[in-house]
């Protein structure tokens, strides 16, 4: 087997193995080290003809033994190793026993615990994203640093601080009840969506899309949907990511500039992703437990169904944004409603709605862009120009700035 | 005789593939298509969406119950299948060797009955094993 395939096996097994090791050791650092050691053992002993039947179980056993060795070494310096650190699996093919013992429900709880720990509310959002990518997805510190355009050292510190914060918080090790589980799943879903969004509309730097972040987010979303298919918000999350990601090729012009939804070549949309997203959403909605991610997915799906921008079902979008405003009110959602309103009732009414959002959105480029476009539609050119200039001030990426400048030079529509 | 070529793989593994690795797997499927179309054994190819999209229908007393997810949790998942019209099992086995076999498993199972439809013309195609 070429070593590339081996590393793919390790990458695929990582979330489940690390989750189990985290349960065994109750310590993410030790679990990560143990996984690393187990991976080295795998590289030495796995061959194309001798891949274990269950690589995940093999790695858990190996990682457990490696971790126990590490703990013994640490303790030998202070006290003798307690009996309860003896490895429980000493058979010839220990993973066979473990493989059967590790049924679906154990994986579910382990992975949820690991993900929730990485996305814990005591952590800042950027810490949640960094930790989830490092620990669960297995990206290197360098890769994460590159995705966020910071120095590897900065990212290393961010991750170290996040781990310290988790230790300081002394999270209780407990099985969540139904409400607690829903809360955890919701925190995890939000963190995965943050990762996707960071890739989808990179908030800083020269590139608009950082595809690898979108793909890692989709991989995590697929994993968690596989484990919790009965949770409609998770299917909503995956549907949302897939439908947004379907536009990847249409969103960037050949010269690297951004193409907005109204101007995208819809034949470039990935229909396979759209189909999967739509059917996931339909399956999610059957549960009749709507949530913000399902509504956002429905919004994305409504766009995906329109053959051209002119065919967009604005009435449906208005209903969906109203629903979203109800379950998760935010100034950005209100801004989006105003844009939909401009299509239904014209720019004057939309502008009126928008002006009321000035306070919370004053430092948000999208707000000034929408305002500028309504003003331009109303023929108020000078005010539109000033609004575009405000948008330029708050734009985070070069792509965004180029886009605003091109809008500024457009002739005013009448 | 019609043979089904059933493909099983771990979705965790498929999701972890790099674009290059995915391309090299698809290349083998491409070669399989080419080979079976050239010798006219190709009958159908079906690739399934992820098991995350699955629902399972059960009957409970007089009611239908639709649960989310596949009917069984397995380490490897059913990914899709080909149908081949081959003279014998040996020919089907030879063709299947072209497929990517390093990851996942491939099962060949003869078809007892097949009915297909041309979706556009609604013409039926019926094949019985005999």
Q: What is the mean pLDDT of residues A8-20?
A: 93
Please report the pLDDT score of residue A302 as a whole number: 98
Domain range A345-414, its CATH number among 1.25.40, 3.30.70, 3.30.450, 1.20.120: 1.25.40
Nearest CB to A1: which of B55, B68, B102?
Answer: B102
Nearest CB to B13: which of A8, A230, A279?
Answer: A8
Which residues in chain A have their CB less than 8 angstroms from residue B102's CB? 1, 5, 48
Q: Is residue B68 within 8 angstroms of chain A, CB to CB?
A: yes
SS3 B36: helix
Rounded Cα gap, residues B115 and B126, in angstroms: 4
Rounded Cα gap, residues A337 and A367, in angstroms: 12
Q: Which of A251, A217, A62, A92 is nearest to A147 (CA)?
A: A217
Please report the pLDDT score of residue B42 as a whole number: 96
Rounded Cα gap, residues A294 and A230, in angstroms: 13
Q: How confident is the model at residue B82 (pLDDT cuts 50, 70, 90)?
A: very high
Least confident of A87-101, A221-235, A298-312, B26-40: A87-101
Q: Is residue B58 within 8 angstroms of chain A, CB to CB?
A: no
**First and final C-alpha spacing in chain A:** 64
Rounded Cα gap, residues A146 and A211, in angstroms: 12
Q: What is the mean pLDDT of residues B88-94?
A: 97
Does the distance separating the beta carbons of B66 and A54 come in below 8 Å? no
- Per-residue burial over A282-311, b = 16 or more CB atoms within 10 Å of its CB, e = otherwise: ebbbebeebbbbbbbbbbbbbbbebeeeee
Nearest CB to A104: which of B68, B73, B103?
Answer: B73
Least confident of A62-76, A80-94, A262-276, A339-353: A80-94
| H or E element that contains B82 | strand B77-85
Rounded Cα gap, residues A373 and A412, in angstroms: 9
User: Where along chain B do its domains lie?
Assistant: 2-45+76-128
Residue of A215, A219, A229 for testing the chain B interface, max B β-carbons within 10 Å? A229
Q: What are the tens digits of pLDDT across the range A171-227?
A: 776 777 888 888 889 989 999 998 998 887 765 555 655 778 899 999 999 999 999
Q: Is residue B51 within 8 angstroms of chain A, CB to CB?
A: yes
Token pair recorded at residue A31: 């679990």
pLDDT greater than 70 at residue A147: yes
Does the distance separating the beta carbons of A287 and B52 come in below 8 Å? no
CA distances from A146 to A100, A156, A161, B83 (A): 40, 12, 19, 45
* Sequence ranges of chain A with CATH classification 1.25.40: 345-414
Q: Which of A4, A110, A133 is nearest to A64 (CA)?
A: A110
Q: State how beta strands B105-110 and B2-9 pair.
A: antiparallel
CA distances from B73 to A115, A128, A229, A302, B46 (A): 21, 29, 11, 32, 22
Does the distance separating the beta carbons of B13 and A9 come in below 8 Å? yes
Does the distance separating the beta carbons of A287 and B75 come in below 8 Å? no
Please report the pLDDT score of residue A414 as a whole number: 47
Which residue from A minimizes the CA distance to B66? A286
Is the domain B2-45+76-128 a CATH 2.60.40.420 member? no
Q: Are A153 and A144 in contact (CB under 8 A)?
A: no
């Amino acid at each position: 087997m070429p070593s590339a395939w081996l590393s793919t096996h390790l990458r695929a097994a990582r979330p489940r193995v690390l989750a189990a090791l985290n349960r065994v050791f109750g310590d993410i650092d030790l679990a990560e080290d143990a996984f690393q050691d187990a991976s080295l053992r795998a590289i030495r002993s796995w061959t194309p003809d001798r891949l274990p039947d269950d690589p995940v179980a093999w790695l858990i056993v190996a990682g457990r033994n490696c971790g126990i060795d590490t703990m013994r070494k640490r303790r030998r310096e202070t006290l003798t190793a307690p009996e309860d650190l003896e490895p429980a699996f000493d058979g010839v093919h220990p993973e066979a026993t473990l493989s059967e013992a590790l049924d679906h429900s154990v994986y579910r709880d382990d992975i949820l615990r690991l993900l929730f720990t990485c996305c814990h509310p005591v952590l800042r959002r950027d810490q949640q994203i960094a930790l989830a990518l490092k620990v669960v997805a297995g990206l290197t510190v360098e890769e994460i640093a590159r995705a966020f355009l910071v120095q590897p050292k900065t990212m290393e510190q961010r991750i170290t601080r996040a781990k310290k914060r988790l230790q300081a918080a002394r999270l209780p090790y407990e099985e969540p009840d139904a409400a607690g589980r829903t809360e955890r799943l919701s925190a995890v879903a939000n963190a995965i969506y943050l990762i996707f969004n960071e890739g989808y509309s990179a908030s800083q730097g020269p590139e608009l899309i950082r595809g690898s972040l979108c793909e890692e987010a989709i991989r995590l979303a697929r994993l968690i949907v596989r484990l919790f298919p009965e949770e409609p918000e998770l299917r909503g999350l995956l549907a949302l990511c897939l439908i947004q990601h379907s536009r990847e090729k249409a969103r960037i012009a050949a010269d690297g500039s951004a193409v907005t939804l109204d101007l995208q070549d819809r034949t470039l949309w990935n229909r396979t992703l759209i189909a999967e997203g739509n059917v996931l959403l339909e399956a999610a909605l059957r549960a009749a437990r709507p949530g913000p991610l399902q509504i956002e997915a429905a919004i994305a799906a409504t766009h995906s169904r329109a053959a051209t921008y002119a065919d967009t079902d604005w009435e449906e979008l208005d209903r969906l944004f109203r629903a979203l405003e109800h379950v998760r009110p935010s100034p950005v959602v209100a801004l989006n409603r105003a844009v939909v309103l401009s299509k239904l009732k014209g720019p004057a009414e939309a502008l009126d709605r928008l002006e009321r959002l000035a306070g919370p959105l004053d430092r948000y480029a999208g707000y000034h862009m929408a305002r500028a476009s309504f003003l331009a539609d109303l023929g108020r050119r000078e005010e539109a120009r000033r609004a575009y200039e405000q948008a330029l001030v708050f734009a985070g990426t070069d792509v965004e700035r180029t886009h605003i400048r091109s809008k500024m030079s457009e002739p005013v529509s009448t | 005789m019609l043979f089904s070529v059933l493909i099983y793989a771990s979705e965790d593994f498929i999701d972890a593939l790099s674009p290059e690795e995915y391309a090299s797997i698809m290349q083998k499927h491409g070669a399989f298509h080419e080979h079976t179309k050239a010798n006219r054994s190709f009958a159908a190819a079906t690739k399934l969406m992820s098991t995350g999209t699955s629902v399972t229908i059960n009957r409970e007393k007089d009611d239908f119950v639709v649960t989310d997810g596949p009917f069984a949790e397995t380490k490897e998942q059913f990914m899709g299948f080909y149908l081949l019209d081959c003279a014998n099992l040996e020919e089907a086995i030879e063709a299947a060797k072209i497929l990517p076999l390093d990851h996942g498993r491939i099962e060949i199972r003869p078809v007892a009955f097949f009915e297909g439809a041309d979706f556009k013309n609604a013409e039926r195609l019926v094949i019985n094993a005999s």
